[in-house]
A and B are shown apart, each in its own frame.
Chain A
Amino acid sequence: MNEFADSSQRKFTRPLDVERGRVDMTHGGGGRAMAQLISEIFAAAFDNPYLAQGNDMAVMPAATGRLVMSTDGYVISPLFFPGGDIGSLAVHGTINDVSMSGARALYLSASFIIEEGFPLADLKRIVQSMARASTEAGVPVVTGDTKVVERGKADGIFISTAGVGVLVDDLSISGDAIRPGDAVIISGSIGDHGVAILSKRENLDFETAIESDSAPLNGLVAAMVEAEPSIHCLRDPTRGGVAATLNELAHQSGVGFVLDEDALPIKPAVRGACELLGIDPLGIANEGKLLAFCPAEKAEALLRVMNAHPLGRDAAVIGQAVADDSRLVRLSTSFGSERVVEWLNGEQLPRIC
């Protein structure tokens, strides 16, 4: 239901003690406390005309074209990390999933599962960050929901967002559309998000200047599809990183990939952290990067468009799709040999998004 609407303009006897207060079970109980939480934290942040309708749902104008919809849950730990927090991530992640079809993202919904005892100050900080991210991306949160669960039944806060977008052009961007010969382009440096999260894990905690790359890719995608509607596929390499995404796409499109290790954009600090921890940057999550696949002859033009966008400044061609019945992802190493890039086994980095 659309709980974030605050049409009643209720007045409460005392404002929420955001500084010291905590979420308790009454905040999920449907009574006055819940109404106050919604009014003072959620409605105050996500102010937009659809939310302001004050109904259990938002009514939006119909869009022409094909509808695109996606949903994602966010359970990241820690909740706040260099370069973002669970709120901005929940906005960026879903906008990016919708955008990978080439669609224009229009609206978001947000659902919060909050653990009893969660500090109101943290909740406010997360919601404000979410609102800021949604404003910056130009995609409003039009409906939402909150639930409070007993202490120990969740870990602070979980957020689930859904996004709706519209495909106006005659695009057919899809994971099964990659053809042998296609260029593989990455929009920027690899592994920043995963390393930023790792650096703040309780039992790891190392000093690094690396920040998460969490960012909304809708603007970059709009520029790309406008310039090159012939793009075959777009995919954001989140959990499992570039390695998992390419293995997945190799199977979906029935091709292989050959990557050039020397061409991979990896920041020295990320490379160093991966080296120390014994992990492969190709297997690490990104939250503001995309992989694009297009006919080789279009690659240069597409790269120019990407490089002109702030989120694609470091975009680079990193390899190509090849005909390969065994659907392998292979890497030509700087050393001069070749190796297979396998999916990694995931439990190394749980709750990365």
Chain B
Amino acid sequence: MKYASEFRDGALARGIAATIAAECRSGAQYTFMEFCGGHTHTIARYGLEELLPGNVRLVHGPGCPVCVLPVGRVDSAIELARDHDVILCSYGDMMRVPGSHRMSLIKARAEGADIRMVWSTLDALKIARQNPGRQVAFLAIGFETTTPPTAMALKMAKAEKLDNFSIFCNHVLTPAAMRAILDGESLALQGIIGPGHVSAVIGIEPYQEFADRGQAIVVAGFEPLDLLQAILMLVRQVNEGVPRVENAYVRALPAIGNAKAREVIAETMTLRGDFEWRGLGTLPNSALRIADDYEAFDAEKRFALPYRQVPDPKSCACAEVVRGLKRPEECVLFGKVCTPDNPIGSCMVSSEGGCAAHWLYGRHRKGGASQHREVA
């Protein structure tokens, strides 16, 4: 497959891995966080950790939109669908995320709520046009990658005066999450693999503050060679002792990001005072709400949705997993009571979740497909 298979060449990958091994200094530790769940997925799918020397350790970060959404927000989405007689449109990833009392959107649907799985905000707009007599709400989640389509949907709804349409906005900001990780418990990180798709919107400049705090930062694409290349660049930065922001995803990512997308977001959304994250706690200025000019399309206002903070399920280690403090298999529930068929925490649901990626590709199995995150 053109433009994908070239970046999955096993021989080239082993070549880069050999260079990484040769350049890593013995006695030095190279602990890097892959921020993005898409990266976690690639690492698990291709078994990249098996190719790396023992002193290069990768830890999973919070960059999985479904995983960082707290139980309270899931409850609000379920409430919206169940108690306000709306057609709730959601990306597929959210359908099975458990809220309080193990309720989920898919279970609410079985109980009669009208919940539709959509692939794009355009589908949600279409459903609103086709059902003028019903309220249609779109459950918007995600980092800066999925924010522009939500912003466009707001603009389109306003232009069309689609007054039966609204958005339950849960968009969150990458730099805020990175800041929380670095401010939190010491992971002794030497560097961060920056998220490619997010950076295609925000550019690479927002990461400078983390380089100033001593982190090597390399923004990477999503194929195995992209990641190995980024790891090599991180190792070199650490060896040189000059942390900076570099772009390893030049084929898709202009360093300035996408100004047009940022403009649309700035027009339709604004910073939220506080937002609760799963794992990271309540962080100021870390998420977006719908701007006042568009508040007619804000589902939280239209349906007066209250926000209730709800603790994570007992024993669930999602909070530690999204901070890189625990590997999925270190959770007592992993693979025992919590599996993709019967998820307890959000990290087991989303395909970008650390637990789901480990489970799906068998990275947790001893004697199966080999397992391997070295614990430093």
Contacts and interface: CB of A to CB of B under 8 A. Distances in A.
A330 B14 contact: no
Contact of A345 (B14, B123, B341): B341
Interface stretch (A42-50, A232-240, A267-275): A267-275
Given A335-B10, A335-B224, A337-B50, A203 B1 contact: no
A310 interface: no
B340 A345 contact: yes
A205 to B, nearest CB: 10
Contact of B368 (A328, A345, A348): A328
A271 B2 CA distance: 11
A340 B45 CA distance: 9
Contact of A339 (B119, B126, B340, B362): B362
Interface residues of A, number: 22
B351 interface: yes
Contact of B46 (A330, A335, A342): A335
Nearest to B118: A203
A271 B50 CA distance: 26
A334 B8 contact: yes
B323 to A, nearest CB: 25
Contact of B361 (A272, A334, A340, A345): A340
Nearest to B116: A203
Contacts, number: 74
B362 A204 contact: no
A338 B14 contact: no
Nearest to A350: B117
Contact of B1 (A272, A338, A347, A348): A272
A333 B1 contact: no
A340 B365 contact: yes
Interface in B47-89: 47-48, 50-51
A339 B351 contact: no
Contacts of B8: 334-335
A271 B8 CA distance: 14
B106 interface: yes
Contacts of B96: 345, 347
A336 interface: yes
The secondary-structure label for the interface of chain A is loop
A117 B219 CA distance: 56
Contact of B362 (A275, A278, A342, A345): A342
Nearest to B340: A345
A326 interface: yes
A336 B14 contact: yes
Given A203-B123, A326-B367, A340-B369, A278 B95 contact: no
A340 B368 contact: yes
B132 interface: no
Contacts of B119: 203-204
Interface residues of B, number: 38
B100 interface: no
B287 to A, nearest CB: 25
A340 B360 CA distance: 7
B63 to A, nearest CB: 16
Contact of B369 (A271, A275, A278, A339): A339
Interface string A187-209: 00000000000000001100000
B37 to A, nearest CB: 12
A338 B369 CA distance: 6
A326 B365 contact: yes
B288 interface: no
B13 interface: yes
B309 interface: no
Contacts of A203: 118-119, 123, 126
B359 interface: yes
B256 to A, nearest CB: 26
B10 A334 contact: yes
Nearest to B47: A337
A297 B11 CA distance: 32
B370 interface: yes
B241 interface: no
A328 B10 contact: no
B284 interface: no
Nearest to A335: B10
B117, B119, B368: which has the most chain A beta carbons within 10 Å?
Answer: B368
B360 A342 contact: yes
A28 B362 CA distance: 52
20 contacts: A204-B119, A326-B368, A333-B47, A334-B8, A335-B13, A335-B224, A336-B11, A336-B14, A337-B10, A337-B46, A337-B48, A338-B369, A339-B44, A340-B360, A340-B362, A342-B340, A342-B359, A342-B362, A345-B340, A347-B95
Interface of A: 203-204, 268, 271-272, 275, 278, 326, 328, 330, 333-340, 342, 345, 347-348
Given A204-B119, A330-B362, A335-B46, 8 more contacts: A271-B1, A330-B369, A335-B9, A340-B361, A340-B369, A342-B361, A345-B341, A347-B117
6 closest cross-chain pairs (CB), A and B: A340-B362, A336-B10, A337-B47, A339-B361, A335-B10, A340-B369
